[in-house]
Amino acid sequence: MSLALLSLAALCWGLVSTEPTIQCGSEPGPSPEWMVQHTLTPGDLRDLRVEPVRSRVAMEDYSILMNVSWVLRADASIRLLKATKICVTGKSNLQSYSCVRCNYTEAFQTQTRPSGGRWTFSYVGFPVELNTVYFIGAHNIPNANMNEDSPSMSVNFTSPGCLDHIMKYQKKCIKAGSLWDPNVTACKKNKTVVEVNFTTSPLGNKYMALIQNRIVIGFSNVLENKPPTRTSVVIPVTGESEGAMVQLTPYFHTCGNDCIRRKGTVVLCPQTGISFPLDGRRSMMGGWWPFLLPALLGATALLAAGIYVIWRHKRIKKASFPTATLLAPIKVLVVYPSEICFHHTVCHFTEFLQNHCRSEVILEEWQKKKIAEMGPVQWLTTQKKAVDKIVFLLSNDVNTMCDSTCDKSEGSPHENSQDLFPLAFNLFCSDLRNQTPLRKYMVVYFREADTKDEYSALSVCPKYRLMKDAPAFCTELLRVEQHMSAGKRLTACSM
């Protein structure tokens, strides 16, 4: 019995040891087989898959690699198969291309594995960058002759960003705080105060906590020098905070303004001392209901009347209200110089405007076709008339704008937006010279608010620093109907 088992094991071992395995190495150029005519060639692959895996060299620059796996077709042509070649093209700000050739150590004797199942192999290699589209192609060798169709198989793979459960181990992501778990908790203490707790990171000591309930209702900067500790910050708020979102923005040395932000929700603080049981609250509400209902109806009627009046005024083209109507979105044209990183800076700013300042944002980036049709000057002039505000998005810290965490893949500002910012600035300058009211213009800075010399004319505009002046900026934006005096005017407006 034991002898039989032993011989069976030996037989299995013998079979396993002669099974082909792969030996892979880089082969950037054409394969040597390409130069030779082959009367018979192997068929194509049956399946090709790619998934990112964490490499074992943990702290290496490229700790995330591709696991490329493929399945061979079970047909007679497998006997001719010598190798499989895999080529990967990566498309982000830089285009990358590399190929690997995997030789089979033995000729294939069977169409399937002796143990059953198809021949499946995998190769782990090809470093994976963040937010990159990869095209992965594979073909068998010897490949078809030069003028014949070469069977190959391809798949694409888009690598995710730092929040992905595997990508977060990438060195860049770790530096941007991907492994930091701040465990943000926040609760409403009373009508005017929210308490936010979070665990600090050893990567930096500067944070900003922002409370937003559609619009920003409060924020606070936090400086914490101690190594990872649980920090508590009390933030005054100007609106209903229960259910609001709290956003924690860290400012680490390596990622500056582009660090990974964390979110939490504001809940009611557990009541200590005097507590209202739920039933008591409900009965109180019930008691108030008869008084509340008429008041509510009254308010609705007032609102309706207000809307009607506003609508009539608009029709008579007497748009001069002391307070904002807040009903229609504010149209905002955002212009930015080409050195600003589109994805991280402009997109985040746009998102902020849309989500928290009731704005409809117009970006050159989204209207390329229209601009091409109309010409940039005509397009800008039209937009200038149509929008409520024109925001110049500036940064005086160019070096950190497009750092490593920034994805410059699509709409790289360096290729696309070269003429629009100077044009918009010229337009502004001509308004300045012509004594046209400048109330449409605003300037927003990242980091410090000191205007670069070349754009010094913009210093007459109201200036805001993100995200420090975010509430003030939103308030100003929503007050578009109000006239803002242009303040002092500069006579020189040189480019």
Ligand X SMILES: *[C@@H]1O[C@H](CO)[C@@H](O)[C@H](O)[C@H]1NC(C)=O
- Residue 23 as a binder of ligand X (CB under 6 A): the answer is yes
- Report the alpha-carbon distance of residue 332 to residue 361 in Å, rounded: 5
User: Measured from the CB atom, is 157 or 464 closer to ligand X?
Assistant: 157
Distance CA 237, CA 210 (A): 10
50 binds ligand X (CB under 6 A): no
Is position 128 an interface residue for ligand X (rule: CB under 6 A)?
no
Nearer to ligand X, 157 or 379 (CB): 157
Smallest distance from the beta carbon of 355 to ligand X, in angstroms? 24
Q: State which residue, 27 or 258, has the beta carbon closest to ligand X.
A: 27
Q: Does 53 bind ligand X (CB under 6 A)?
A: yes
List, in sequence order, every residue forming a beta bridge with 120; answer none if it has no partner.
Answer: 71
Q: Which span sits near ligand X by CB under 6 A: 185-193, 293-301, 304-312, 474-482?
A: 185-193
**Does 98 contact ligand X by CB under 6 A?**
no
Nearest to ligand X of 110, 183 (CB atom): 183
What's the alpha-carbon Rg for the chain, to the nearest Å? 32
Q: Which of 77, 93, 103, 338 binds ligand X (CB under 6 A)?
A: 103
**Residue in 211, 174, 205 with CA at minimum distance from that of residue 192:** 211
Which of 111, 152, 185, 338: binder of ligand X (CB under 6 A)? Answer: 185
**What is the closest distance, in whole angstroms, from the C-beta atom of residue 51 to ligand X in the complex?**
7
Among 34, 93, 144, 195, binds ligand X (CB under 6 A): 195
Select from 437, 426, 486 the least CA-distant residue to 459: 486
CA distances from 92 to 132, 133, 350, 410 (A): 5, 7, 22, 7
Q: Distance (Å, rounded) from C-alpha 347 to C-alpha 343?
A: 5
Q: Report whether 260 contacts 204 (CB < 8 A).
A: no
Residues 207-266 that bind ligand X (CB under 6 A): 232
- Contact between 55 and ligand X by CB under 6 A: the answer reads no
Nearest distance in Å: CB 134, ligand X? 10
By CB under 6 A, tell whether 89 contacts ligand X. Answer: no
Q: What's the CA gap between 456 and 257, in Å, rounded?
A: 24
Q: Which of 186, 362, 371, 477 binds ligand X (CB under 6 A)?
A: 186
Q: Report, in Å, the least distance between residue 238 CB and ligand X.
A: 13
Q: Which stretch binds ligand X (CB under 6 A): 186-194, 249-257, 332-340, 380-388?
A: 186-194
- Comparing CA positions, the residue from 130, 122, 25 lying closest to residue 71 is 122
Residue 485, amino acid: S
Query: What is the total count of residues that contact ligand X (CB under 6 A)?
Result: 26
Q: Which of 392, 460, 456 is nearest to 432 (CA)?
A: 460
Angstrom distances, CA of residue 297 to CA of 250, 276, 293, 305, 310 = 45, 28, 6, 12, 20
In a 3-state reduction of DSSP, which class is residue 247? strand
Using CB under 6 A, list all residues that contact ligand X. Answer: 23-25, 32, 53, 67, 69, 83, 101, 103, 122, 124, 133, 156, 183, 185-187, 189-193, 195, 197, 232
